[in-house]
């Protein structure tokens, strides 16, 4: 499979998972976290699917398209190793959805980011809250869910915090 084919499959999986998650959290209060802004595509998709929902973006350095930037009040800049532990004081266990687009071409960096997400995001989720990620995470406190229709297994990963 070409890198282009792989990128297309990843983007289709992101879209399907975000669309499915947006419906799944419709009645669940709480903010949304976007971990990794990149060029802003998934942030833009989240805000189009979840109008009126607060979306907080965590990013090391902003390089997104100008139309895909969150307001400064919802942009949390810095390394995940610093910003994710600090998020507990700000959000507690109130997050309805966290989307982690954190993979990179560097396997060691991707494992590091995945480990930080696996450690610090599950406590932020409210019961019934969802975590979406393109990396498989070791999250024993979360239930792995099947992929939405049309998304190949192992292409994306979908987790839910159990309701008590």
**Is residue 73, in this structure, part of any structural domain at all?**
yes
**Is residue 16, in this structure, part of any structural domain at all?**
no
123-137 confidence digits (pLDDT tens): 999 999 999 998 999
What's 156's domain CATH number? 3.40.50.150
pLDDT of residue 23: 96
**Is residue 87, in this structure, part of any structural domain at all?**
yes
Question: How many domains in the chain?
Answer: 1
Rounded CA-CA distance 6/154 in Å is 13
Dihedral sign from CA coordinates of 147, 42, 37, 47: negative
The pair phi, psi for residue 76, each rounded to 5°, is -115, 105
77-105 confidence digits (pLDDT tens): 999 999 999 999 999 999 999 999 887 77
3-state secondary structure at position 94: coil
18-39 confidence digits (pLDDT tens): 999 999 999 999 999 999 998 8
**Is residue 89, in this structure, part of any structural domain at all?**
yes
Determine the average pLDDT of the residues in 42-64.
94
For the chain, what is the mean pLDDT? 93
**Is residue 23, in this structure, part of any structural domain at all?**
no
Per-residue pLDDT band for 109 (boundaries 50, 70, 90) equals confident
**Is residue 22, in this structure, part of any structural domain at all?**
no
**Is residue 62, in this structure, part of any structural domain at all?**
yes
**Is residue 43, in this structure, part of any structural domain at all?**
yes
pLDDT of residue 138: 93
- State which residues form the domain around 89: 3-10+29-160
62-84 confidence digits (pLDDT tens): 988 889 999 999 999 999 999 99
């Amino acid at each position: 499979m070409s890198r282009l084919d792989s990128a297309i499959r990843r983007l289709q999986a992101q879209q399907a998972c975000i669309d499915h998650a947006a419906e799944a959290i419709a009645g669940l209060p709480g903010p949304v976290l976007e971990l990794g802004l990149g060029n802003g595509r998934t942030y833009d998709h989240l805000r189009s699917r979840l109008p009126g929902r607060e979306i907080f973006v965590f990013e090391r350095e902003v390089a997104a398209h100008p139309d895909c930037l969150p307001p400064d009040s919802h942009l949390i800049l810095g390394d995940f190793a610093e910003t994710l532990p600090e998020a507990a004081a700000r959000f507690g266990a109130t997050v309805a959805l966290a989307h982690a687009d954190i993979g990179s071409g560097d396997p060691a960096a991707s494992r590091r980011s995945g480990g930080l997400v696996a450690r610090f995001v599950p406590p932020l989720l409210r019961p019934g809250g969802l975590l979406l990620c393109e990396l498989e995470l070791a999250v024993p406190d979360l239930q792995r869910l099947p992929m939405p229709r049309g998304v190949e297994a192992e292409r994306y990963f979908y987790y839910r915090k159990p309701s008590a």
